[in-house]
A = this chain, B = another copy of it.
Amino acid sequence: MTSRDVTRPICIIGLGLIGGSLLRDLVAAGHPAYGYTQSTSGMRAAVKEGFEATDDLDKALSRAEEDAALIVVAVPMGAVDATLDAIAAQAPSCGITDVVSVKTPVYEAIKARGLQSRYVGGHPMAGTEFSGWKASHAGLFHRAAWVVTYDYAAELEEAGQRVPQRWTDLFSDVVRMIINAKAEAIPTRVANHDAAVARVSHLPHVLANTLSVVGDNGGTLAQSLAAGSFKDATRVAGTEPDLQRAMCESNSEALIGALDETIELLREARASLSQETPDLTELVESGHRARTRLEARSGARKESVSPIKISSRPVLRLHPGGPGWVRQLAQTEDLGGRIEIY
């Protein structure tokens, strides 16, 4: 691992929407970064735009090992195991992070290979319904939440053990990378992440697909009448089916819980509509309140004319490794807050 006064280069494995956009942002921020993609056409497009990219995984990983790079695993869930095997074999001393949308199975794969002391998980809450290098673009992560996991430190603390400096440095470098991508680093433990994204990311995908089908069942007239509310609510059903399935299926336990709440609310709504005088007050009032709160928290409202967008997330300025820092991470996590490091 590199000494602390040298910038650790970043090697991104997978140059799709997320990995490709990260490469663009890091290079724009002046951070040394290069990538691998299995897509030869994606590699060629990246190289043509002046980026350092290869479609040779061995080459990328031996360079990463030589550079003491931070490796970012930016492949779909189904390719995580093979990628970690390759990293363990060919880049045995590199720090590892990832951008996969479910954290429990990734952390299990990390632990199965004994890599946890070299791993800090990540997940940027940003994306579009498109995929591949061609969909990548600078600024995708601007002001987005980017989860950074700290289970390893929390587990050691709980066991009364010291968190190694090497891991603390890795954590700091991952946070720096996130801030270089102009995102906000949100400390979160793996299980809490998966429970939260089941509600705010995977459930929206299930509902988008369901609504698409029910709308489609209405035939050409219904489709012709579908406007903004329907199109916005079904947009993410346009995401590649394999990507949607991978995130929902690998987070099934948490997603089932969120689905049960959803089905219960819809049954109550159905009952309210079946009364002699249909009355949706309860659902609509509580939904509207929740939506208004979310809008207020996520900063400037659409109608605002102010050009200044400031983050609405509470911020903790943190010295990784300092006294009580893991407890501070947990407190920030409870608030959905972001961290900055010094």
> Smallest distance from the beta carbon of A111 to chain B beta carbons, Å?
21
Q: Is the interface of A mostly helix, strand, loop or mixed?
A: helix
Q: Mark A227-260, 1 if CB is under 8 A from B, else 0.
A: 1111111111111110011001110100110111
- Residues A180-208 near B (CB distance < 8 A): 186, 188, 192-193, 195-197, 199-201, 203-208
Name which of A50-58, A90-98, A288-296 contacts chain B: A288-296
The verdict on A158 contacting chain B, using a C-beta distance below 8 Å, is: no
Question: So how many copies of this chain end up in the complex?
Answer: 2
A291 touches B208 (CB 8 A): yes
> Are B232 and A233 in contact (CB-based, < 8 A)?
yes
Asked if B235 and A232 sit within 8 Å, CB to CB, the answer is: yes
A72 CB to nearest B CB, Å: 19
Answer whether residue A220 sits at the interface, using C-beta atoms and an 8 A cutoff. yes
Contacting residues, chain B, for A336 (C-beta < 8 A)? 219-225
CA–CA, A239 and B228, complex, Å: 13
Q: Does A280 contact B (CB under 8 A)?
A: yes
A contact residues, range: 35 or more
Q: Which residue on chain B has the smallest CB distance to residue A283?
A: B209
- The reply to whether A265 and B213 contact each other, CB–CB distance below 8 Å, is yes
Q: Are B238 and A292 in contact (CB under 8 A)?
A: yes
A273 touches B261 (CB 8 A): no
The 8 Å CB contact of A221, one of B259, B292, B333, is B333
Q: How far is the CB of A334 from chain B (nearest CB, A)?
A: 7
Given contacts A224-B336, A225-B145, whether A215 and B294 have CB atoms under 8 Å apart is: yes
Binds B, one of A8-16, A21-29, A30-38, A121-129: A121-129
A147 at the interface (CB under 8 A from B): yes
Q: A209-B283, A212-B287, A259-B269 are in contact. List 19 more A-B contacts (CB 8 A).
A: A126-B228, A130-B303, A186-B225, A188-B221, A199-B217, A200-B218, A201-B229, A206-B269, A207-B211, A215-B290, A219-B336, A220-B336, A233-B235, A237-B290, A244-B288, A245-B279, A249-B273, A250-B278, A252-B278
4 closest cross-chain pairs (CB), A and B: A209-B287, A224-B336, A216-B290, A237-B291
**23 A–B contacts from the bound complex (CB under 8 Å):** A126-B228, A147-B225, A197-B222, A199-B222, A200-B223, A207-B233, A208-B229, A210-B262, A210-B266, A213-B261, A213-B287, A214-B262, A221-B333, A221-B336, A229-B236, A232-B233, A234-B287, A234-B291, A237-B290, A238-B295, A248-B284, A263-B263, A263-B267
